[in-house]
Amino acid sequence: MINQIQRIGERSINFVTRLGVAGLMLVNALFSQPNWKFLRLVGLQVYNLGVLSLPIILVAGLFIGMVLGLQGYNVLVSYGAEQSLGTMVALSLLRELGPVVTALLFAGRAGSALTAEVGLMKATEQISSMEMMAVDPFKRIIAPRFWAGVLSMPVLAFMFSMIAIWGGSFVGVDWKGIDSGGFWSVMQASVDIHQDIFYGFIKSTVFAFVIVWVALYNGYYAKPSSAGISEATTRTVVNASLMVLALDFILTILMYG
């Protein structure tokens, strides 16, 4: 009994310590003065995290859009409301699926890569040697990756929504024969820049923040062994995905009540 309580205590202390360490890392990484060198590093990471994630985002977006279009059509047509397909596709994408699915794919594609990369740098003493060369790894390694992730994710989410809506229109208009004018105008009448596009942007930015933070923390504090890195990579994907889904619920409550 006492052992159980002790274990709970130990766990909670560890948990709070880890939160503190992760917070310190974030603060250290964020408060670095930007200069040209730094922007160059961010650019490089935007390439690694954003550009290289583009294919998976676009392909996934296209298929999800087409499936949404088909399923939505089949349901709506039995109520004679297939005109609303555009609204259904656009709203579900902009508000939920765009930010969330992009975030999940981003966690799997870029988050795991970040953890593995930083973890390996740690394990092979590259980070340690950087410290001894008086180069702060938080500013040189962590900060550029952090900002690049936060910049890339919303861009990816926009592209995801765009191509998915196109996929939906492809199925609805070109295949199932909904009038294209109706499809787009009903959509335009119901989609709001503030409520839908801007809130979607906020969501994807928040998700990016969480994913990159989790990924970098797990990488930087991974056990310096191959088992440690693989464990850290798994933990990144699992933790980041769950946190994205939970945060999505909270944000949805805050935004749409």
Partner 1 sequence: MGQLVQIRDMSFAREQRILFDNLNLDIAQGKITAILGPSGIGKTTLLKLIGGQLTPSSGDILFSGESVCRAKRAQLYQMRRKMGLLFQSGALFPELTVFENVAFPLREHTQLTEPVLQTLVRMKLESVGLRGAEQLMATELSGGMGRRVALARATALDPELMMYDEPFAGQDPISMGVLLKLIRDLNQSLGLTSIVVSHDVTEVLEIADYVYVLADKTIIAQGTADGIKSNQDPRLVQFINGLPNGPVPFHYPASDFLKDLAAQ
Partner 2 sequence: MTEKKLHLAVGSFVLAGCFALVLLVVQVAGFSFTQDQGSYTLKAKFDNIGGLKVRSPVKLGGVVVGRVEAISLDAKSYTPVVTLRMDQQYGFYPETSSLSILTAGLLGEQFIGLRPGFMDDDIELLGEGDFIDDTKSALVLEDLIGQFLFSIQDNSKE
Footprint of partner 2 (CB under 8 A):
43-44, 46-47, 50-51, 54, 79-81, 84, 90, 94, 152, 154-156, 158-159, 161-162, 165, 184-185, 187-189, 191-193, 195-197
Give the dihedral sign, CA 112/212/100/156: negative
How many amino acids of this chain bind partner 1 (CB under 8 A)?
A: 12
Q: Indicate whether 131 belongs to the interface with partner 1 (CB under 8 A).
A: yes
* Contact with partner 1 (CB under 8 A) among 136, 195, 209, 228: 136
Whichever of 82 and 117 has its CB closer to partner 1, that residue is 117
Whichever of 17 and 124 has its CB closer to partner 1, that residue is 124
Rounded Cα–Cα distance for residues 104 and 97 (Å): 10
Whichever of 6 and 185 has its CB closer to partner 1, that residue is 6
Whichever of 2 and 134 has its CB closer to partner 1, that residue is 134
CB 60 within 8 A of CB 101: yes
CB of 111 to partner 2, least distance (A): 18
* Contact with partner 1 (CB under 8 A) among 51, 135, 242, 246: 135
Q: Which does 135 bind (CB under 5 to 8 A by kind): partner 1, partner 2, none?
A: partner 1
Q: What are 248's two structure tokens?
A: 């999505």
Tell me the DSSP string of 91-145.
HIIIIIIHHHHHHHHHIIIIIHHHHHHHHHHHHTTHHHHHHHTT--HIIIIIHHH
- Which residue type sits at 235? R
Tell me the Ramachandran region of residue 177: left when phi exceeds 0, alpha when psi lies from -120 to 50, beta otherwise. left
CB of 250 to partner 2, least distance (A): 22
CB of 20 to partner 1, least distance (A): 16
Rounded Cα–Cα distance for residues 211 and 96 (Å): 17
Binding positions for partner 1, rule: CB under 8 A: 124-126, 128-129, 131-136, 140
